[in-house]
A and B are shown apart, each in its own frame.
Chain A
């Protein structure tokens, strides 16, 4: 059963459609991601779903309710974590959680929630004194305090250092299977890959792709890329002649080869035949980042603001350093 159903959503600002016919539905208990570059219309979309913006067209139903009515039953059912929403500087974590739990019919136990979010130590700390990660976790806690059926989390890890980001992800993974449906907005592909059951990619106010993160990544025609340090000098032109190889380059000791998905095996076998060993071997496979870039950078560079600023590292083989090549 779809707990969120969006049909033909439109929102126009100053004559310019920011959201232009977005449709999707989210099943009960799913973790659903909305991806897209900055300015693509993600926040407008979720703020409409959260009942904070009035759509200019289309229909939205969340847990069977109409968000534009903003009635208390809707607020009970939907927890929201917003970008740029703060608390009074001198409110402590415990006070905020206690206050917010008083608004709901069946709130979660805020102590347990604080414990789970690693905020229990900070319970008597003023909001103004919390670190960025702690503020975000408190923000997530406030979105969940009312025991919502749906929690909407907008850019919840933006501005967090990698350690804090992983902490927040860990929390959301814990929520999987507790029945709460999560709607996640992100421009971190790694986040979506790790957490989401399904994603849509929005660009220029339209849905340009909808799938599971894996299928989306797999659907991208992108080269495999491998690199290694050979134990002896290698004839690069020989490697280039291999059927699976498309490009060969070297930088310092390191040789970088791209090609089909068999390229790694083909190169290692070819080297082996010549008695050469490949040290520090790295193989990167296309990930959601590549899919994202391939999807959103096909036409122009107007929207090319920021693919993730810091390198999400997920090589399949050795090491953890190299990022998938700039496949644009």
Chain B
């Protein structure tokens, strides 16, 4: 799920693929180490949704199907929302935080003087954030299942829906990270975007309860399409093609735009 830019580093064009791979490995290793030393924002982004998913799963009433949600249980409706809640927070808060700080401090300006391309740094950040959010998702799926909630019935569909949704949301985060110099402005915009995305995901008004027109809009947002695709897979269907296409389109558009519009200073 990395950004599809052929030349991450100089020399890729000379057929030196191993060097691009070396640079990618070094960058990933370096960013992972830095993340481990400064885990603050990331930890806070995932604590709440992971805890909420586990707590909800422990309450039997919540696991019972209900007419209120078109025959789904409260847990079925909320598990995907919480999973995407974690991804969204990581994407629009944690990810831009790192990169805008680098920009403020001049880390990016220094990097610009080397043959490394922005895509190298952006893909490393994307990959790391994705790894963290996959970890959260595993926790939010496995622990509830162990305490009595249901496993996703279509695991392959669930994984596919999840990866595409993560790509779309992280792409949005990358775009914010690419554009802003001031970490606080980026954080403010990230927060605003977070609430909008959560609204369309159905955090306050669940998708089955949305008026049809609102649900149609929600279908075209990364969080709305993601939630529906995850819910469909959780109850055993395949995600609808519409939702998968919407997610892939957001992912591709956002990550391409973030590489194109990336500013070093």
Q: Which residues of B contact A100 (CB under 8 A)?
A: 114
Q: Which residues of A contact B33 (CB under 8 A)?
A: 91, 95
Any chain A CB within 8 A of the CB of B30?
A: yes
Any chain B CB within 8 A of the CB of A192?
A: no
Any chain A CB within 8 A of the CB of B115?
A: yes
Contact B107 A105 (CB under 8 A): no
Contact B105 A98 (CB under 8 A): no
Q: Which residues of B contact A320 (CB under 8 A)?
A: none
Binds B, one of A71-79, A165-173, A274-282: A71-79
Q: How far is the CA of A142 from the CA of B22 in the complex (A)?
A: 18
Q: A52-B109, A102-B19 are in contact. List 5 more A-B contacts (CB 8 A).
A: A71-B10, A76-B115, A85-B110, A90-B37, A103-B114
Contact B115 A79 (CB under 8 A): no
How many residues of A are in contact with the other chain, CB < 8 A? Answer: 29
A82-B110 CB under 8 A given contacts A88-B34, A103-B9, A103-B115: yes
Min C-beta distance of A267 to chain B, whole Å: 54
Contact B10 A91 (CB under 8 A): no
Contact B109 A99 (CB under 8 A): no
Any chain B CB within 8 A of the CB of A84?
A: yes
| B residues 9-47 touching A (CB-CB < 8 Å) | 9-11, 13, 16, 19, 22-23, 25-27, 30, 33-34, 37-38
Which of B16, B102, B114 is A75 in contact with, Cβ under 8 Å? B114
Any chain B CB within 8 A of the CB of A86?
A: yes
Render A174-208 as a binary contact track against B, CB cut-off 8 A, 1 for contact: 00000000000000000000000000000000000
17 A-B contacts (beta carbon < 8 Å): A73-B10, A75-B114, A79-B113, A82-B106, A82-B109, A82-B110, A86-B110, A88-B105, A91-B33, A95-B30, A98-B30, A99-B30, A103-B9, A103-B115, A105-B10, A105-B16, A146-B115
Any chain A CB within 8 A of the CB of B127?
A: no
Contact A80 B113 (CB under 8 A): yes
Q: Which residues of A contact B11 (CB under 8 A)?
A: 72, 105
A76-B112 CB under 8 A given contacts A84-B106, A90-B38, A102-B23: no
Contact A104 B114 (CB under 8 A): yes
Any chain B CB within 8 A of the CB of A40?
A: no
| B residues 62-116 touching A (CB-CB < 8 Å) | 102, 105-107, 109-110, 112-116
Q: How far is the CA of A48 from the CA of B113 in the complex (A)?
A: 12
Which of B9, B27, B102, B112 is A88 in contact with, Cβ under 8 Å? B102
Contact B10 A99 (CB under 8 A): no
Which of B23, B34, B37, B102 is A103 in contact with, Cβ under 8 Å? B23
Closest A residue to B120 using CB positions: A103
Rank and list the top 7 A-B pairs by shortest CB-CB distance, nearest first. Answer: A72-B10, A102-B26, A80-B113, A85-B110, A85-B106, A75-B115, A72-B115
Classify the interface of chain A: helix, strand, loop or mixed. Answer: loop
Q: How far is the CA of A102 from the CA of B25 in the complex (A)?
A: 9
Contact A52 B105 (CB under 8 A): no
Q: Which residues of A contact B112 (CB under 8 A)?
A: 52
Q: How far is the CA of A60 from the CA of B102 in the complex (A)?
A: 29
Q: Which residues of B contact A104 (CB under 8 A)?
A: 10, 114-115
Min C-beta distance of B30 to chain A, whole Å: 5
Q: How far is the CA of A71 from the CA of B114 in the complex (A)?
A: 10
Contact A103 B116 (CB under 8 A): yes
Q: How far is the CA of A73 from the CA of B7 in the complex (A)?
A: 12
Contact B23 A72 (CB under 8 A): no
Contact A142 B110 (CB under 8 A): yes
| A residues 202-255 touching B (CB-CB < 8 Å) | none
